[in-house]
Structure 1
Amino acid sequence: MSIQLTDNVSPAARRDILDLEQKISSFRSGDIPDEAFRKFRLTRGVYGQRQPGVQMIRIKLPHGRITADQLIRIADLSDKYATGNLHATTRQDIQLHFVKLADSPQLWADLEDAGITLKEACGNTVRNVTGSARAGVDPTEPFDITPYAYAVFDYFLRNPICQDMGRKFKISLSSSEADSAYGYMHDVGLVPRIRDGKRGFKVMLGGGLGAQPFPAQTATEFLEEDQVIPFIEGVIRVFDRYGERVKRHKARMKYLLNDIGLDELLRRVDEERPALRVQSFQIPTNGENDVPATLPTFLSTLTDRSAVENTAKYQAWYKTNVFEQKQAGWYAVQLRVLLGDMHADTARALAQIVKQYAADDIRVTVNQGYLLRFVRPDNLPAVFQALDALGLAEPGFDTTADITTCPGTDTCNLAISSSYGITRALEQMMHDEFPDLVFNDDIKIKISGCMNGCGQHSVANIGYHGSSLKNGAYVLPALQVLLGGGFNGKGEGLIGDKVIKIPTKRGPDSLRLLLRDYEANGFDGEYYSDYYARQGKNYFYQLLKPLADLKTLVDTDYIDWDHTEQYVTEVGVGECASVLIDLVATTLTEAGEKLGWAREAFSESRWADALYHAYNVFITGAKAGLMSRDISTNTQHGIVSDFDKTFAGEVDFHKAEGDFKTLVFSLNKQEPSELFARQFIAQAEGFLQAIQAYRETQVIQEGAPHLQELSQAHDS
């Protein structure tokens, strides 16, 4: 069935969607190897699930911002193509699960019709740009970062410098010094500041989670607003050129920064300055503090407001889920959503509440909830009633009782144990035994199904990630306990310590011990991470050590949460069998595609883009040449250097060592122009023709190439 595309779908998105449809067809017919197709579909938001034959679709929502009609569209599409569930993520995306691969192009087309994209939601690209959900209404913000988040998102979407990096790249913008968007764990984290009457940002670089979490380093305390996008472009160019590309576990920017140091990284960023698409990028911010002109004028018809306002639940909800905006007389309402999951029917009903009572500007929050803006104070009781009927008025938004979690083994290939099950158990235990924790917003609890950190456990005051333990011949599900992350009393962002690993069924016991210990021994007003630092890691190890005693195991310890069968560790099922391919030929085909993109960008007068595509022709062609001689490299810079040495003196390429390197790296020695782009593309085309001819001669002389097997690798 052909894809139905409306006039609302942009030409760029239209081409992407049709390309996805064509690639799916080629993949099914065996014309595209699995690993190449996997790489392609990930950058289109299509991610393989733990269950074979179905996909998770990640919907990319810049800054988590969405309208009521867009929420309805996503809900309708979840009913049509998925399970009727909308899962909000810690990166302010919404995910749909159990989607058939064949349905993904039309699903994407229907999203684009509503102004929503999947492009670069996964894969080795610039992921969704996140930001403080309170931005624009935050009483403590120096200015609204919303237009800046959108500008960063737009600038790097489909930008050639970040289409095929060694690894993903994450950017966040916080609304104030509180850093509520966790800039300190991002590749680039921005915090707004005003200096001498000028707007700018504190810039942090090289943060990251995963098995080896790194806190970001401060690149500058103040960068003027018009320099933010040029600076980020320079950082991405450096990461693309020098970042690891073979050892996946070392391929994030945090490792590059750790290897070369901040001063050297910034020097290389400065070297890229001449080649940038723009030298200054001014972001329009008119009217950002204004009350929206399109707010509903509806006033609640609730006859007895006081009867609602005097209930204990309303009082708790008002205290924890509502705050007055910086626009005097207007209120924001925050929705606590268990596991980040919302049924499509609930989402549609929520959209109607927004249309009736709030601004058409819903924000998905980094703790998997939602935020509604510009609610009149007189309408708050009616909003509470409407939300309560949907189960969306539970008090305790972003408090200790509001746990952040990833889907874990419910859908993820990489998860080791259940995240959802332990989250439910911990929240129920706190509800029953520590009811006042709905008023505590100092302790944050976060859970991931594995060490990779989608639930952001490393930046929690109390964090857990899924694991396993061996007891003789048996394996049981486990939790790694991490403590001391998050923010301390000075507002500093910290990475948690791994303290101890315990059977997962003892998770509630561990949290109970930690909370009671803090109640008994913490100083008044002492932040939990400061308390952890004061007591020390060994104190907490000894506190929890009895729970790690495997001699006291019972039968239920061998069964994971939400399961009835005995636990076994599982590797996610591959999506198809391995295939045999000629890797050199495949790489040369890829270089040819990049040459086509360079020509197209040139025809549209996009000189900087054309140059970067041509640069990638050199990189990909040189990689193919090195592969033909069984020489492996791990960075783009290494590819150029090794090709320069290996092929020096071969007339078809360059006469002397250093010539090729000089040619390729001339990319950042001058400003992008029509003349330079025309010349550089012509040189890239000539180089590719020479490599292709060399390969043809090599095959004639040495015989047909050995076909190599590519098998399915995990998505991430």
Structure 2
Amino acid sequence: VQHMPRKFKVSVSGCETDCGASGIHDLGLIATEKNGQKGFIVNGGGGTGGIPIAAVRLLDFVVEENVPAVLESLIRLHQRYSNRINRNAARIKFLIKRFGEEKFRTLFEEEFERMRILPQRPWTPLDWRDPDESPEPVSPGGVVSQHDGRSAVVVNPSLGLFTSEQMEALADIAEQNGAEEFRITRDQNFIFMGLPRDAAEAVKKAVRALGFGVEERPGDVANVIACPGTTTCRIGITNSQNFGHELASLALDYEAKPEVSLMISGCQNGCGLHHVADFGFRGMGKKIDGRNAPHYQIYVGGNPRNLGDIGLSGPIVVARYAPEALNILMREYAENRKEGESVRQWSEQLGKQGLSDVLAQVLEKATADTENIYLDWGEREVYEPPAPAKSECAATFAVDDLLMDLADDSLIGFDRALFGEQSEEGRIFGHEGIYYAARRLLVRQGDVREDLSHDEILHTVRGSYADNPQVLAALDKVIEAENTAANGGGNGALGSFREALAVWIDTAADLMEKPFEKSLFDASALEDSSGSVMDMIRNQQRGA
């Protein structure tokens, strides 16, 4: 997994409340029970960022022993199909966009059936229990009774911010009151875990004295999440943290929905999860009368626990008037929603134009002579968008390192198949190993094309290494062994194929370690026969 096209995020929820927000992760597991057996619901392919896509249901139920096969299946699809040229499009969610939900689900199911019959590492059984309550619509807050007889206390630092002195004080409180664990959460809170029941009140009092909130009832502590924005992030566009502080009072004691969620991201990457909030805000820069001004696009009705509930994108408002816009939206929802209607249902009834109509008086204020319109929240200087910067999406990528790992993985997969007496799977892994080792040899000569078929790759290798008897002999032997195994040669033939594959992979690896001969470099593969690359090579040949 060191050379996956890009990151792979996993969430695990211990019950169907789905506090882990499986809908926005590459892989989301939700603990459940079916016909008296414990296991997991499997969702996959979710993600936010510039193009938010909700996860799809991959399996309604899987036993815990098959979780490694689930993970391996998705990672293999990621390795096989995700984009290695444009890392902005190199997440599992783009495979869903590329293939469609049904095709992607089929690809997963086929891969899962392959992996499920192969040997996996020994599985340590999980600890399960029978719940005595139904799943809740939101994560619990305040003092929570643990199922083991102890207590937990959820602490709400505003936007997850705290000083080093406060952190030390929190650690002291945990130790003094017998807490077993001290955790942070995905929604920027702390949790004291494993407290004696009689210690909960003392912990509440102590953390409130530090200035942190502890919920007594839903809505008496603001549920606001914000990324750092321009305070520390090199790709931040707006000061999302200062904006979050401005919104906090609006989230208190909101009778229409006490647990209302407000989430803010300082750019399109969505680290503040604005796509899945009741009311979300995405920072951006726009010009008014030729001058840059901070803005927010509003999203309404998101929910990370309901698959498909990505917030409806609404109007773009000037940052200075975004709190007013939120106040209007919350008032409209409270006054005009139908009985039992969620924020999402209400926003879907309005639609994009309806949301714009509701906010018309705010949108009309965006004129060049408006006071403070060019200032971001908490800033004294006139707003200027940050200089362009690369995020982790644009990290460099080593092609040969990937091919080396994939070739080795094919050999390991072959061994797993042989151990599990899965002959056909072994031949498939062997076929892949031949391909990856051959591609390494072409990369050595500057040929990084990815559109060549298996046969074209081998044909090109033969031509490129016609004067290297070691390469040709290893290639001939592995192809002969593959053909023999495919024609019913039995377990002995499979063993010979495996050994020939190992020799072929080692031959490629050995050659890759040797000093490169510039005369063998295929400049045409770079379409640069007279450009800077060839000039560099010629200068090196001359000793320049």
**Secondary structure at 2:244 match in 1:** helix
Percent identical pairs in the alignment equals 24
Tell me the CA shift for residue 547 of structure 1: 2.3
2:49 is matched with 210
266, 275, 291: which is aligned to 2:108? 266
The counterpart of 2:235, out of the listed 408, 411, 414, is 414
Tell me by how many angstroms 1:394 deviates: 4.6
What's the CA shift string for 1:124-179, capped at 9, x where partnerless?
A: xxxxxxxxxxxxxxxxxxxxxxxxxxxxxxxxxxxxxx111111111111122222
Cα distance, 1:647 vs. partner?
A: 3.8
Give the deviation of 1:340 after TM superposition.
Answer: 1.3
Contact in 2 for aligned 1:487/1:529 (Cα 8 Å) = no
Mapping 1:292-691, distance limit 5 Å: 321-328=142-149, 330-395=150-215, 401-427=222-248, 429-430=249-250, 435-437=252-254, 440-486=257-303, 494-549=309-364, 550-551=366-367, 554-571=370-387, 590=401, 619=436, 622=439, 625-626=442-443, 628=445, 632-633=449-450, 643-644=457-458, 646-647=460-461, 651=466, 652=471, 679-689=500-510
Name the aligned partner's letter for residue 50 of structure 2: A
Q: Is 2:441–2:461's contact at 8 Å kept on the other side of the alignment?
A: no
Aligned position for 2:72: 233
Q: How far off its partner does 1:471 sit?
A: 1.8
- Distance in 1 (CA, whole Å) between partners of 2:174 and 2:497 is 52
Alpha carbons 2:312, 2:348 under 8 Å: kept: no
Q: 1:417 touches 1:466 (CA, 8 Å); kept in 2?
A: yes
Q: What is the CA deviation profile of residues 310-356 of structure 1, one whole-angstrom value per residue up to 9, with x for unaligned ones?
A: xxxxxxxxx9512323345x332100011212222211211121122
**In 1, distance between residues paired with 2:280 and 2:518?**
58
Which residue identity does 1:332 align to in structure 2? A
Aligned with 1:177: secondary structure? Answer: coil
- Once residues 236 and 247 of structure 1 are traced to their aligned partners in structure 2, the CA distance between those partners, rounded to angstroms, is 18
- Pairwise CA distance, 1:209: 0.9
Cα 1:356/1:322, change in 2 over 3 Å: same
Partners of 1:676 and 1:407 in 2: CA distance? 55
Q: 1:223 pairs with 62, 65, 69, which one?
A: 62
Partner of 2:134: none
Which structure 2 residues correspond to residues 239-250 of structure 1 after superposition, within 5 A? Answer: 239-250=78-89
- Conservation of the 8 A alpha-carbon contact between 2:223 and 2:259: no
Give 1:68-107 correspondences, 5 Å limit.
Answer: none
- The runs of 5 or more residues in structure 1 that have no matched partner are 1-161, 291-318, 576-580, 709-716
- Structure 2 distance, partners of 1:220, 1:592, is 31
- TM-superposed CA distance for 1:422, in Å, is 0.6
Look up the match of 1:83: none
8 Å contact 1:257–1:265 — kept in the other structure? no
How far off its partner does 1:477 sit? 0.8
CA gap 1:407/1:476 in 2 versus in 1, 3 angstroms = same
Letter in 1 for 2:206: A
Change (3 A) 1:511 1:707: farther
Q: For the residues of structure 2 that align with 1:466 and 1:238, how far apart are their CA atoms?
A: 33
> Which residue does the alignment assign to 2:136?
none
The answer (yes or no) to whether the contact 2:293–2:373 under 8 Å persists in 1 is: yes
C-alpha distance in 2, partners of 1:563/1:422? Answer: 11
CA distance in structure 1 between the aligned counterparts of 2:407 and 2:456, rounded to whole angstroms: 26
Q: Could you tell me how far 1:500 is from its partner in structure 2? A: 1.1
Shift of 1:259: 2.2
Which of 1 and 2 has higher RCO (CA within 8 Å, sep 6+)? 1
- C-alpha separation between the residues in 2 aligned to 1:454 and 1:283? 33
Matched to 2:145, the amino acid is E
Q: CA–CA distance in 1 between the matches of 2:462 and 2:371? A: 67
Matched-pair contact (CA < 8 Å) for 1:229–1:281: no
Q: Which residue identity lines up with residue 2 of structure 2 in the other structure?
A: Q
Pair 441,225 (structure 1): closer, same or farther in 2 beyond 3 Å? farther
Does the aligned pair in 1 maintain the 2:14–2:31 contact within 8 Å? yes
> How far 1:562 moved relative to its partner?
2.2
Distance in 1 between the 2:111 and 2:369 partners?
55
Alignment partners' CA distance in 1, 2:117 and 2:516: 32
Q: Distance in 1 between matches of 2:152 and 2:172?
A: 17
In structure 1, C-alpha distance between the alignment counterparts of 2:232 and 2:75, rounded to whole Å: 31
8 Å Cα contact 2:180/2:194 also seen in 1 = no
Q: How many residues align?
A: 486
Q: Counterpart amino acid of 2:334?
A: E
Within 1, Cα distance between the matches of 2:324 and 2:57? Answer: 39
Residue in 2 aligned with 1:201? 40
Give the letter for the 1:508 counterpart: P
TM-score between the two structures when normalised by the length of structure 2 = 0.76
Shift of 1:529: 1.6
CA contact (8 A) 1:401 1:437 kept: no
Q: Deviations over 1:25-49 (max 9, x none)?
A: xxxxxxxxxxxxxxxxxxxxxxxxx
Give secondary structure in 1 for the equivalent of 2:167.
helix
Conserved 8 A contact 2:444-2:512: no
Q: How big is the shift at 1:364?
A: 1.3
TM-score (norm 1): 0.59
8 Å Cα contact 1:451/1:465 also seen in 2: yes
1:398–1:418 distance in 2 versus 1, CA, 3 Å = farther
Measure, in 2, the Cα distance between the counterparts of 1:595 and 1:527: 47
Tell me the equivalent position of 2:125: 284
| In 1: Cα distance, 2:374 partner to 2:437 partner | 49
Separation in 2, partners of 1:194, 1:699? 61
Q: In 1, distance between residues paired with 2:521 and 2:87?
A: 35
Q: Quick one: which of 8, 13, 16 aligns to 1:174?
A: 13
Contact map agreement 1:464 1:480 (CA 8 A) in 2: yes
* Aligned residues of 2:152 and 2:193 also touching (Cα < 8 A): yes
CA contact under 8 A between 1:358 and 1:373: conserved in structure 2? no
What one-letter code is carried by the residue in structure 1 that aligns with 2:322? G
**Secondary structure of the structure 2 residue equivalent to 1:392:** coil
Q: Which amino acid aligns with 2:348?
A: A
* Alpha-carbon distance change, 288 to 620 in structure 1, aligned in 2, over 3 angstroms: farther
Give the Cα separation in 1 of the matches to 2:199 and 2:329: 40
Distance 1:675 1:440 in 2: 67
What secondary structure is seen at the aligned counterpart in 2 of 1:520?
helix
| Contact kept in structure 2, 1:462 and 1:485, CA below 8 Å | yes
Please identify the structure whose Cα radius of gyration is greater. Answer: 2
- Please tell me whether residue 254 in structure 1 is matched to residue 69 in structure 2: no
The residue identity in structure 2 corresponding to 1:273 is M
- Inter-partner Cα distance in structure 2 for 1:422 and 1:679: 63
Aligned pairs for 1:29-48 (under 5 A) are: none
